[in-house]
Amino acid sequence: MNDIDLSLYLVTDNSEDVDKFLNTIEEAIKGGVTVVQIREKTADTLDFYNLALKVKEITSKYDVPLIVNDRVDIALAIDADGVHVGQSDMPCDVTRKLIGQNKILGVSAATVKEAKKAESDGADYIGTGAVFPTTTKDDADSVTKDELTEIVKSIDIPVVAIGGINLDNACELNGTGIAGLSVVSAIMSSDNPKKSSQELLNIFNS
């Protein structure tokens, strides 16, 4: 895997208004988003596939990696840049076999043990959270700042923090050693996704 810039990692939410959804992603990329993960927990396979193709058109245009959440089949079908799996999804080592060595593989991990196992099973990066209370994922484990720092120190692959991160609290993660901020609502629900992305990136880089 090439070195991937995880500084501002956008995870999409539901796509009821597809035009608005796609426009938000494009504006966010213009504002500095460095990775896009498409997450569709309730969509039918065909709908997910068709939507993922549209998102890929945008991410390819700006040369931003597209990661598919959970669905290895969709990722392979659209030739996405990678897959992100959780602790209850396809096991990391099996996912790696399916997608090969040239795709990006991210794994959600809320403990040092989970992070170390993911690293040894072939993950390229870890997503850790929820670092703040979140409404977009009701089953998310909570991870303290100290636990986050501990996870970062315990492995050699990069860690992105996720869960309730917004313009008001992102600065609290300074000093943890994370490789980036992973956000959903702070960008997807923003009236100005480009500006919100710029501001989040500024906070992370400061």
Could you confirm whether 154 is annotated as catalytic? no
- DSSP secondary-structure letter at 172? G
Could you confirm whether 113 is annotated as catalytic? no
Catalytic choice (15, 56, 96, 108): 108
Catalytic choice (56, 103, 137, 194): 137
Q: List the one residue out of 187, 173, 186 whose CA is nearest residue 128.
A: 173
Q: List the one residue out of 81, 21, 19, 35 whose CA is nearest residue 201.
A: 35
Q: Cα–Cα distance between 160 and 40 in angstroms, integer? A: 20
3-class secondary structure for 69-131?
ECCHHHHHHCCCCEEEECCCCCCHHHHHHHHCCCCEEEEECCCHHHHHHHHHCCCCEEEECCC
User: Residue 134's CB: how many other CB atoms inside 10 A?
Assistant: 18
Catalytic choice (7, 15, 39, 182): 39
What values do phi and psi take at 5, rounded to 5?
-85, 110
User: What would you report as the CA-atom Rg of the chain, rounded to the nearest whole angstrom?
Assistant: 16
Q: List the one residue out of 37, 76, 27 whose CA is nearest residue 160.
A: 37
Task: Report the chain's terminal Cα–Cα distance, integer Å.
Answer: 27
Could you confirm whether 96 is annotated as catalytic? no
CA 202 from chain centre, in angstroms, equals 18
Active site residues: 39, 108, 137
